[in-house]
Structure 1
Amino acid sequence: MKKWIVTSVLGASLLLSPLQAFANIGDQTLRPTMTHSDVRTLQSLLRSKGYFTYSGSYTTYFGSYTKSAVMSFQRAKGLTADGIAGRSTFNKLGVYNVNNAYLVDYAKRFQGTVYKWGGTTTSGFDCSGYINYVFKNSHNITLPRTVKEMWINTGYKVGSQEIGDLVFFSTTDSGASHMGIYVGNGKFIHAGSSTGVTISDMNNSYWKPRYYGTKRL
């Protein structure tokens, strides 16, 4: 009997959809008075947008300062201001439910597509047009159009890369001006102006000194 139960549970887990198999920020609804590691990220996201004004360090506790910040943000974005951070609130904060393995697999399908300034279709991409296309067509997620807007409004900053993260570079002026999707092993896929859609090494002599930062959705 025990063996049958274990086998059944394992079998059921394999039937989960790809999106169900990945835990993402926002999958756990955060409520006042609860303690959860995602509360730190929530506070960071709210602070980056000017809503979390508590001067102390981030915590795992969802207290009154966090509730007030969530409600202010919700009102500003036309959401029900209940102070509860669920999927809709996190989406407005720029973090989404993403199957990172599928995202990268989908992104790789367009290797060799030519670069086109302002391009947003498979006839030619610029770097942000490519990222927009991949997210929209793989997950129905609409991201900001430009690199700078995505750096400011999408995801949250992290100090190291995981598959599916957005990696940013400063190539033409100060601040983020180029981007791609991290695919693992120190590499990222992007629409390069001289290469089209290709996979490059973040640590090569060109990209390493121009690396600007990483954001996770």
Structure 2
Amino acid sequence: MKKFIMSVTLAGALLAVPSISEASLNIGDRGDDVRQLQSALNDNGKNIAVDGVFGPQTLGAVKAHQLANSISSPAGNFYGTAGPATLGSLGLSNSSSGSSTATQTATTVSNSSSSGIISTAKSLVGSSYVWGGTSPSGFDCSGFIQYAFAQNGQSIPRTVSQMWSAGTSVSSPRTGDIVFFETRTGPSHAGIYLGNNQFIHSGSSTGVTISNMSNPYWSKAYMGAKRL
């Protein structure tokens, strides 16, 4: 009888754990998932607005929590990203249930990852272009892409030519794929596809910006899309 009561109590506790729908949350994200994150951070000693907007205040609270709990540090790829380890330490869980097939699971992870990459990339619009730059203080085109992927747990090659060689060609890009352009000989510029014929990239004259692939310059230089 005692064992039965204990099992019921444990099951109730597990069901009571709040869940969120995304694999990770990043600056620029909005919605109920962010509100749950903000509430959990406040329950752990922070004092931030619960407004559903992952802005600088929430970013600072996430970083402070990660440092205090040895989850990540300024040298880590996931510093400031509320991924599974951070969410778990706050008593939050991922609401995605196990899929019946490995393909379905991979698709779910891929979609969540792409969403995070796009959120990270869009949050960096306006960052300056710096040759060889790999941080928000300044990016070159490949440094920008590598940073957006790294912030969401994906390690990809550093240069455009290496990305081109490592990727799998796709006939029609989907959100999160990398689109390549021949601005010099061979693949020499790249960006992240956003959908609706738009891509985000760090241009030498614009910094991080969103451009349309139908623009005559980009349509003429377009080489193809690849998935990493």
Q: Report the TM-score range of the alignment, normalised by the length of the smaller protein.
A: 0.5 to 0.7
Do residues 161 (structure 1) and 173 (structure 2) align?
yes
Residue in structure 1 matching 2:157, options 134, 139, 144: 144
**CA-to-aligned-CA distance 1:144-163 (integer Å, 9 cap, x gap):** 11000001113x11111211
User: CA contact under 8 A between 2:164 and 2:187: conserved in structure 1?
Assistant: yes
Aligned mates of 2:223, 2:113 — CA distance in 1: 24
TM-score, length-scaled by structure 2: 0.53
**CA-to-aligned-CA distance 1:163-187 (integer Å, 9 cap, x gap):** 11111111011x2111000111110
Q: What's the counterpart of residue 14 of structure 2?
A: none
Q: CA deviation at 1:16?
A: 5.3
Q: CA RMSD in A?
A: 3.0
Unaligned runs of 5+ in 1: 1-13, 30-35, 39-86, 88-95
Q: 1:123 to 1:157 in 2, by over 3 A?
A: same
User: CA contact under 8 A between 2:19 and 2:95: conserved in structure 1?
Assistant: no
Q: Size of the alignment, in residue pairs? A: 137
Do residues 178 (structure 1) and 182 (structure 2) align?
no
Aligned mates of 1:177, 1:98 — CA distance in 2: 28
TM-score, length-scaled by structure 1: 0.56
Do residues 104 (structure 1) and 118 (structure 2) align?
yes
Q: 1:157 to 1:110 in 2, by over 3 A?
A: same
Q: Secondary structure at the match of 2:216?
A: coil
Q: 1:121 to 1:213 in 2, by over 3 A?
A: same
Q: What's the counterpart of residue 201 of structure 1?
A: 212
Aligned mates of 1:125, 1:163 — CA distance in 2: 21
Q: Secondary structure at the match of 1:167?
A: strand
**CA-to-aligned-CA distance 1:86-136 (integer Å, 9 cap, x gap):** x8xxxxxxxx78521221111001111110100011111000000111111
Q: 1:203 to 1:97 in 2, by over 3 A?
A: closer
Aligned mates of 2:122, 2:143 — CA distance in 1: 15
- How many percent identity over aligned positions? 47
1:1-217 correspondence to structure 2 within 5 Å: 15=19, 17-19=21-23, 29=102, 99-137=113-151, 139-154=152-167, 156-173=168-185, 175-217=186-228
**CA-to-aligned-CA distance 1:45-86 (integer Å, 9 cap, x gap):** xxxxxxxxxxxxxxxxxxxxxxxxxxxxxxxxxxxxxxxxxx
